[in-house]
Amino acid sequence: MTEIIEGGCLCGQVRYQTSCTKPLFKVNCHCRDCQKLSGSPYVAVMGVPETSFSVTGDLNCFEHQGGSGGTMKSYCCSKCNSRIYGTPEIAKGMVLIVAMSLDNPEFYSADADMFVKQAVSWDMMNSDIPKFDSSMFRRGG
């Protein structure tokens, strides 16, 4: 039996699931875009293969430049505007799920912090996980 991880938006109109129970990575992103999009010091995201991910409900998509310099597409519920996931140009075939949209957010535990040079001074990061000044990922790979 395949285990499924599920989540959705605040109002319940958007639902998603992934069969990827071992995400490719789980990071806290401290870039300014994530700070502005979330209204908090970072966004907790986990990467899963696009082929393992499905979503239902009406979504809005907006594009912006990510910290890598490439395009990031962010998907939000069209009704309550909850940010659900993103697809980065730098990592084609990957979906970045906003971890706090998980039905069970306890599933998430960060493996690393990235864009720590952009972190606010009062952000209390976990000293036990690796830190990256910018993205953990590089363009083209």
- For residue range 42-57, what is the model confidence (pLDDT) as tens digits? 999 999 999 999 999 9
- CA-only gyration radius of the chain, Å: 14
Residue 1 has pLDDT above 50, yes or no: no
CB 66 within 8 A of CB 36: no
Mean pLDDT of the chain: 90
Q: Cα separation of 110 and 56, whole Å?
A: 26
| Residue whose token pair is 């293969």 | 49
Instruction: Specify the pLDDT at position 71.
Output: 86
CATH class of domain segment(s) 5-120: alpha beta
- For residue range 105-123, what is the model confidence (pLDDT) as tens digits? 999 999 999 999 999 999 9
Instruction: Specify the pLDDT at position 89.
Output: 86
The torsion defined by the Cα of 48, 66, 92 and 54, in degrees rounded to 10, comes to 40
Instruction: Specify the pLDDT at position 45.
Output: 96
Instruction: Specify the pLDDT at position 141.
Output: 36
Q: Cα separation of 120 and 32, whole Å?
A: 9
Instruction: Specify the pLDDT at position 137.
Output: 59
Q: Cα separation of 50 and 30, whole Å?
A: 23
Instruction: Specify the pLDDT at position 136.
Output: 64
Mean pLDDT within 58-72: 85
Would you list the domain boundaries of the chain? 5-120
CB 26 within 8 A of CB 48: no
47 vs 33 pLDDT, higher one: 47
CB 86 within 8 A of CB 70: no
Q: Cα separation of 43 and 74, whole Å?
A: 13
**Mapping DSSP to helix (H, G, I), strand (E, B) and coil, where does residue 107 land?**
helix
